[in-house]
Amino acid sequence: MPELPEVQTIANDLEKKIVGKTIIGFWSDYKKAVRPSFAKFRRGVTGRKIIGIERYGKMLVLNLSAGRYGLGGDYSIVIHLKMIGHLLFKELGRETSKFFEEKINQYIHHIIYFKNGDTLAVSDLRKFAWLRLAETTKVGKMKEIVSLGIDALGADLSFKRFEKLLEKRQNSKIGTALLDQKWLAGVGNIYRSEILFEAKLHPERIIKRLTVGERKKLHQALRTILKKAVKMRGTSTIDYRDTAGKKGRFQNALRAYGREGEKCLKCGTKIEKIKLAQRSVFFCPKCQK
C-alpha cells in the first residue's frame, strides 16, 4: 500500500511532468471508480490545464485552470490510489520504457490525455483506486480529508506541535498511535517500524511515560525516516511503482520492517514481531527500550 513517502514521490513527479499541460480527453473501463460520474468527470476536465499538484495525506489533488467547456469555476481532480493503484506517465515518443512491460503496470483502467500527446494512466490490479472531480474550494471539506490529522511530513510539525499531539494520546502505546491517521496523517505500517527503530523506542511504550529526550528522538526519527524514504523514492516491497513504472529503493534500507528472526543490524539480537493496531510491528528487543 502506498504510504506518505510513496504518494509524495508521485506528487513530486507529477509536479515536474504534468503541470502546465492541457487535458484533451479522458478514458475509463471502470467507470464506477470515477466520481461524480464518468460523463461529468470527462466533461469537467476536458480543455483545462493542470496548474498545480497538492497532497493531502495519501490523496493527490491536481488543480485545474478555469475551463472552456462544461462546468465553470475552479475545479480539481482528487485521486486516491488506495491499496495498490499507481500512476503512470507516458511521454509521447518515449513509449518504450522497459518498466511499463512489467505485469503490475499493465492493469490500466483510467487514462487522462494531454494536448501534446502525453498521457497519465492509473494502473490498479485491485480496482480500489478512485478519481473525483471536485470544486477546488470544497476539496478541503471532503470527509476523507477533514478526518486527517496533522501531516507527518508537513513543514508545520515542529517539536512543540508534536509534543502537544503526544499529550492528546497520553495513554496509548506509541506503536498504536502512530497508525492512527486521525491523529497523525501519513505513517503506515512499514514506516512505523522504521521510525521506532530509529528512535530506539519499544512499540508498546505508553506515551505518557516517554521522557522529553525520548519525545525529541521520536520527532526527529519521524522526520528523518520519512524524508529519507522520499529521497529514495519510496518502498516497493511488492507493488508500489513511481510514475515511470519503476520501483522505489527504500526497501533496501529497511532495518526492522519484515526482518523477524533476522539479526539486528546494530547489535545482532534477533528482530521480533508483535501485533499492534491489527498490524505487525517489527523491533529489536535490545536496542528499543
CB of 264 to Zn ion, least distance (A): 3
**Is the CB of 17 or the CB of 259 nearer to Zn ion?**
259
With vertex at residue 132, the alpha carbon angle to CA 78 and CA 72, rounded to the nearest 5 degrees, is 95
Helix (H, G, I), strand (E, B) or coil at 73: coil
Report the residue closest to Zn ion, judged by CB. 264
Q: Which residue, 141 or 263, is less far from Zn ion as judged by CB? A: 263
DSSP 8-state symbol, 69: S
User: Does residue 5 have an active-site annotation?
Assistant: no
Peptide bond into 36 cis (omega under 30): yes
Least distance (Å) from Zn ion to the CB of residue 45? 51
Nearer to Zn ion (CB atom), residue 87 or residue 284: 284
Rounded distance, CA 287 to CA 289, Å? 6
What's the Rg (C-alpha) of the chain? Answer: 20
Among residues 59, 28, 36, 34, which one has the least CA distance to residue 134?
36
The binding site for Zn ion (CB under 5 A) comprises 264, 266-267, 269, 284, 286-287
Shortest Å distance, C-beta 263 to Zn ion: 8
Q: How far is the CB of 209 from Zn ion (least distance, A)?
A: 21
Q: Which is nearer to Zn ion, 3 or 272 (CB)?
A: 272
Q: Is 209 noted as a catalytic residue in this protein?
A: no
Q: Cα(84)–Cα(104) distance, rounded to whole angstroms? A: 9
Give me the catalytic one of 3, 6, 198, 272.
3
Told to judge if 58 belongs to the known catalytic residues of this protein, a careful annotator would answer yes
Check if 42 is active-site.
no
2, 55, 192, 241: the catalytic one is 2
Active-site residue identified among 58, 169, 233, 247: 58
Sheet holding 130-135, edge to edge: 34-35, 130-135, 75-80, 59-64, 50-56
Residues in the chain, total? 289
Catalytic residues, which ones? 2-3, 58, 279
